[in-house]
Chains A and B, each alone.
Chain A
Amino acid sequence: MTADKEKRRAISREAARRRRRVESEVFEDLSRLLPLPPSVQAHLDKPSVIRLTLSYIRMHTLLKGEAWTKAQARHRVKCGRVMNGGEEPREHDGGREEEEEEEKETEEMEASEETNLYLRILEGFLIVLSTEGDMIYLSENVSKYMGLTQNELMGHNIFEFTHPCDHEEIRNSLLLTPEDVWYGAKRDLVLRIKSALTPRGRSTNLKSATWKVLHCQGRVKVCVAPSSVSCLLLTCQPLPLSHTLLSTHTFTSQHSMDMRFTYSDQRITLLLGFSTEELLGRSIYDLCHAMDINHLTKNHLNLCFKSQSVSGQYRMLVRSGGYVWVETHSAVIPGCRPSKSRPDANQPLCILCVTYVLSGVEEPSLQLSVDQIVHI
C-alpha cells in the first residue's frame, strides 16, 4: 500500500515537474518574441513577461488601421516624389532593389532620428494610459525622468506611482464621455510621480523615491476596430527648476502666495512697460486679459497644492496698450527669513516665476484695462 502510494506520488511529482518545465519553456518562447534585447529577455520574471506581452498586443491593436502607419507613410513618400517630378518612377529590377533597400535604410534612420529629436524637444516622455489607468506604453526615455525603465513600468498602473492626493484628479481625467472620445478631447494636468533618481541623476530603487512634479498634456485616442478601445495619450514633462533666461524675452518675478508681485526684474519694464515699483502689491490677475483668468487660477491652484506649475499661454497687458502672449513657469520656494541685511523679510513661502514672452505686442493701440495708458 505504501509502495503504491509512493509510486503514485512519484508519478505526480514527475508530472508536476514536467508541467512546470513546459510552462517555463512557453514563457521563454513568449519572452523571445518581445521586442527586447536578448539579455533583457532572459531576465524577465513570469508576471513581467505577461505584462509586457499585454502591452505589446494592446499597442498593436490601438495602432492597427491607422492611416499613418509606417507602411502607408512610406507609400506616400514615394508617391510624393513621383508627383514632384523629382525622380522617374522606378521599375523593379534586380539592380535597383539593392539601392532601394539602402534608401529604405536611410529613410528609416532619418525618420528614427526625427522621432528622437521630437522627444528631445519635448523634454519629456510619452505615456499611453488605458481608461483604468494602466500604463500600456511608455517611451523609452522615461528612465531619464523617473529612474525606472520602460520595461519595469509598462503594464503597471499609474496609481501605483503617483501621489495619493493627485489620484482624484487623475481619475477625473480618465473619465471619458462619448464626446471626449469622438472629439479627441484634450487633457492637461499637473501631477506628482515617483522618481527613483537621485539629485545627481542616478537611479536608485523605488524605496528611496522622491516626488517629481510632471506636467501632462495630451488627448483621448480611440481605436475603432476590432473593438472600440479608448486611451489617453499624454506627453509628460517634468517641470524644471532651472531656467535659462534670455535677456530679451524672459523676466523673473516673485510673488506672495496670493500672486501679488513682491519683486520683478528690470526686464519687465522693457517687455511690458510697467516699472518694477508700480507692480509691487499688484495682483497678477489684474494684469492679465480677463479671458485668461481661468488659466491663471488653475495655475495658482497647482502651485498651492503641488508646489510647481506651468501656465498655458495667456495674455499680459502692456502698459502702453495691447498685450503680449506669455507662458509662465512657477514654483513655490521657501521664503525669506529675517537676516541682518533684510530684517523685515519674513515670508515663509513665496512664488518664483519665470515668464517667457512669446509674441510681440498685439493690438498696441488698444486700451483694455484701467492700468494702461494709451495715447491715441
Chain B
Amino acid sequence: MSAGGSDGTADRQADLAAEEEGPNQAGSSLPAGELPRKRKGDVEERSGPHVQHSVDLQLDDDFSGSDEDDQHVKIKCFREPHRHIEKRRRDKMNNLIDELAAMIPACLPMARKLDKLTVLRKAVQHLKAMRAGTSSAFTNAAHKPSFLHHDDLRHLLLRAASRAADGFLLIVSCDRAKVLFISESVSKILNFNRIELTGQSLFDFLHPKDISKVKEQLSSSESPRQRLIDAATGVQVQVEAPGRPPHLSTGARRSFFCRMKHSRLAGKQEDKHLLPCSLKKKDTYRYCTLHCTGYMRSWPSSQLDAEAEVDAEAEADAEKETSSLTCLVTMCRLLVHVPHLPSKDLNVKAPEFVTRFAIDGKFTFIEQQATAVIGYLPQEVLGTSCYEYFHQDDLRHLAEKHRLVLRSKEKIETQCYKFKTKHGSYVSLQSQWCSFTNPWTKEVEFIVSSNRVVSGPGHTKEEEADGSEALQEDTKQLPIIPGLSRGVGTMIYAGSIGTQIANELIDSYRMNSSSSSGASSPFGPTQEKCPQISPQTSNSVSSREEAAGSSSQSDSRRAAGAGSATSESSGKQTQLDLDSMVVPGLSSFSSDEAAMAVIMSLLETDVNMGQTGDFEGLHWPF
C-alpha cells in the first residue's frame, strides 16, 4: 500500500458512491454494523461529516449483481471481514499516533488527547529540530542517509559485543604480521596510541609464547586439509585443490586467544581495573588476554597504505592479476570469562575448590587449590572414593546426602564434616553438592561439589586429637548405615558405601524403564527378558542404546527417567525395540564393536576422498 494509495481509493469509491447516491437513495439509514442492502451509497449517507473515520471500503461489491439475493450474500460475506479489517487499521493507526504523541516532548503536556493531524504536525517539527542538531552527515550528498550515524552504530555494536564496552579492529598482513590498520579504541584497551602501533609488526607486542600460535593463525592457504564441513549433511567437502589459494569470498574464519602488551605507562589515564590482565612482569610490560575473531581477506596491495583507507569492496579486484595481499581482519576484545557468578549471599564464603565425583563417590575431577587444603596431590585422590576420607562420624549423614543428591535437582548442602588430610589430621569442610543430569537421557552422570573450609575455635586441637583415634576406630567399628546390607562377617569398606548407593540408582533406572505397573517386584520377569547388561557398563551402554534407538523409544525412556511408572506395554516395547534395533547378523557384536565398524567405514571413505579429491559421486548417507 502506498502512502496515499488506500485513502485515495477510498476517496474515489466514496465519490463514486456519492454520485450514485442521487438516483439510488435508499432512504433508510442503517448503522454501520447492520446487514447491508445493496449499496455503498448508504455509507456516505450514514457517515455524514465523519466520513474520515468510517469510510467503509466497498471495493469488492459486485455491481453487476445478477441476482439480488446473490448480491446480498456476496456483500454480506465481504463487508464483515472488511469492517473488521477497517477497524483494525483504524485502531492500529490510532495506536501509532498515540505512541508518537508520547515520544514528542511538545505533545506531552497536553491535558486532552490531541488529534491526529496535530500530532503529525508536531512530529514534523520535532524531526526538523532533531536533524538541525545533528551533523552535516545528512546534508552531505555523498553520504547515504541512515537512521544511525556510523559512529553510533559502531559503539552500539561494540557495547553489545563485549562487557568491557570496547574492542578494537585490527588488520594485519599475513606474511609479516604488519599492522595495516588498528582502530582508535586500542588506546582504551592496551593504552597505546594507534599511531604508535600502525605499521609495526604484531609480533612486537604479542606475548612471546603466543607468537608461534598467532603465526599459525595467519597462515592462510597452504594446508591441504582445509575443508568445509556442511553440517546439514555432514559432508566434508574439499574447498580447493592444494596449491591454489582458496577463494576468499566467504572469508575463512579465525578465532583465537592471544596476549598483547599493555603499556605500563598509566600516566594520563587513571589506572582502570582492566580485568583479565595477567600480571606477568616480563620486560616491564603487562599483558592483556584478548579474544580475536575475524576472517581472512585479500586486498590488492596497491590500495593499501599505512593509514589504510580500507576499501571493503576491494574483493572484486582480487580477481585481477595484481599482487594481492592477504590480511587478517579481526576484532580484538578483552576476554572476561566468569565461570560462575559470585554468590549474591554475602554470608556464604566463596568455595575453596571444586571437585567432581562419579555417582559412586569416586573423585573424577579436582581443582589444584584442593591440594593446599587436603594435602593430597590430584593424582593421589583421583579415582579413589570420597568415603575413604570422611570421618566415620560423618559417614551416615553424608551417605544420606549422597542418596538425596542423586535423586534431586536441587543443590544439597552438607553439614560440616571432617575430611582426612594426607598427614592424618582432619580438616573441617562444608560442601554444596549438585547432581548433573544429562539433558537428553535425564540420567544422573556425576555430582559436582563446591567445597569450603570451615574454621572455628578449637578445631585444630580436636583434629589432632581425633586424628590418631580415628584411624584406629575405622578398622574396629563399622557404622550402621540404613539401607545398606550388612551381613554377619561382611566387612564394609568405606568405599563400598558409595558404590552401593550408586547401584541403587542404576537399578532404579533400569527398573523404571522396564518394569510394569502391575509388577510386584522390581526384578520381575520383564526385567529378565531384557538383554544382559553388565552392571559396570550399564550406565553408558544404556545411554548409548537409547541414543541409537528410535526416537519414540527415547521418548518413553525419558518419560521413564523422569520417574513416571511405565506400563507393561512400554516394557515390552523396550525389549522389542532393542531387538529390532540390532540388525540380525550383528547381534553378536557388542555395542563397542558396532561403533567401531561405523568409525572404520567413515575413515575409509575419508581416505578415499583425500586421495581422489572427487566427491561428486559419493553418497554420504547420514
Contact = CB atoms under 8 A, between A and B. Distances in A.
Interface string A253-267: 010111110110100
A71 B135 contact: yes
A101 B482 CA distance: 86
Interface string A287-309: 00111111001001100100010
The DSSP consensus for interface residues of chain A is mixed
A53 B127 contact: yes
B97 interface: yes
A42 B3 contact: yes
B595 A280 contact: yes
A46 B14 contact: no
Contact of A30 (B120, B331, B367): B120
A245 B157 contact: no
A117 B169 contact: yes
6 contacts: A70-B149, A111-B154, A276-B599, A285-B446, A290-B365, A358-B257
Contacts of B213: 360
A374 B6 CA distance: 76
A269 interface: no
Contacts of A254: 234
A313 B291 contact: yes
B3 A26 contact: no
A55 B147 contact: yes
A347 B548 contact: yes
A280 B593 CA distance: 11
Contacts of B226: 244-247
A12 B609 CA distance: 81
Nearest to B584: A343
A23 B606 CA distance: 69
Contact of B155 (A50, A68, A110): A68
Nearest to B137: A108
A78 interface: no
A77 interface: yes
A58 B100 CA distance: 10
B488 interface: no
B53 to A, nearest CB: 10
B164 to A, nearest CB: 11
Interface string A232-261: 011100000111111111001010111110
A165 interface: no
A367 B382 contact: yes
B99 interface: yes
B157 A235 contact: yes
A317 B294 CA distance: 26
A54 B100 contact: yes
B439 A301 contact: yes
A339 B546 CA distance: 20
Nearest to A236: B160
A164 interface: no
A31 B127 CA distance: 10
B224 to A, nearest CB: 8
Contacts of A80: 193
Interface stretch (A91-99, A168-176, A203-211, A328-336): A328-336
A350 B121 CA distance: 59
Interface stretch (B138-146, B269-277, B388-396, B521-529): B138-146
Contacts of A45: 1-3, 5-6
B160 A218 contact: yes
A119 to B, nearest CB: 7
Interface stretch (B77-85, B307-315, B498-506, B511-519): B307-315
Interface in B474-488: none
B407 interface: no
Contact of B52 (A19, A35, A218): A19
Contacts of B144: 37
Interface in B68-127: 92-93, 96-97, 99-100, 103-105, 116-117, 120-121, 123-124, 126-127
B156 A370 contact: no
A285 B436 contact: yes
B599 to A, nearest CB: 6
Contacts of A22: 117
A335 B160 contact: no
A199 B229 CA distance: 17
B225 A344 contact: no
Given A30-B120, A70-B152, A114-B183, 12 more contacts: A23-B116, A26-B120, A68-B155, A69-B152, A117-B312, A121-B293, A121-B330, A233-B159, A245-B229, A246-B254, A336-B598, A374-B379
Which size bracket describes the interface of B in this complex? Answer: 35 or more
A115 B547 contact: no
Interface in B162-185: 163, 165, 169, 171, 183-184
Nearest to A255: B547
Nearest to A12: B49
Contact of B156 (A47, A226, A233, A277): A233
Contact of A347 (B228, B291, B547): B547
Contacts of A228: none
Contacts of A68: 151, 155
Contact of A244 (B183, B253, B589, B621): B253
Contacts of B123: 30, 53, 57
B231 A243 contact: yes
Contact of A258 (B4, B153, B438, B602): B438
Contacts of B397: none
A186 interface: yes
Which size bracket describes the interface of A in this complex? Answer: 35 or more
Contacts of A297: 436, 439
A325 B52 contact: no
Interface string B556-596: 00000000000000000000000001110110010110111
Nearest to A26: B120
Interface in A38-86: 42-47, 49-51, 53-61, 63, 66, 68-71, 73, 77, 80, 84, 86
B24 interface: no
B550 interface: yes
Contacts of A263: 598-599, 602
B48 A114 contact: no
Contact of B438 (A105, A114, A116, A283): A283
A59 B147 CA distance: 8
B448 A290 contact: yes
Given A70-B149, A280-B595, A370-B383, A327 B255 contact: yes
Contact of A367 (B209, B310, B378): B378
A247 B3 contact: no
Given A244-B228, A344-B597, A46 B93 contact: yes
A109 B310 CA distance: 9
A290 B406 CA distance: 17
A343 B586 contact: yes
Contact of A23 (B120, B294, B365, B378): B120
A365 to B, nearest CB: 10
A37 B147 CA distance: 11
Contacts of B146: 35, 140
Nearest to A110: B309
A108 B51 CA distance: 51
A263 to B, nearest CB: 6
Given A13-B14, A54-B99, A257 B1 contact: no
B51 A12 contact: yes
A300 B439 contact: yes
Given A248-B223, A258-B440, A291-B340, A115 B597 contact: no
Contact of A262 (B223, B224, B356, B595): B595
B7 A26 contact: no
Interface string B596-614: 1111011000100000000
Nearest to A116: B312
Contacts of B147: 35, 55-56, 59, 137, 150, 154
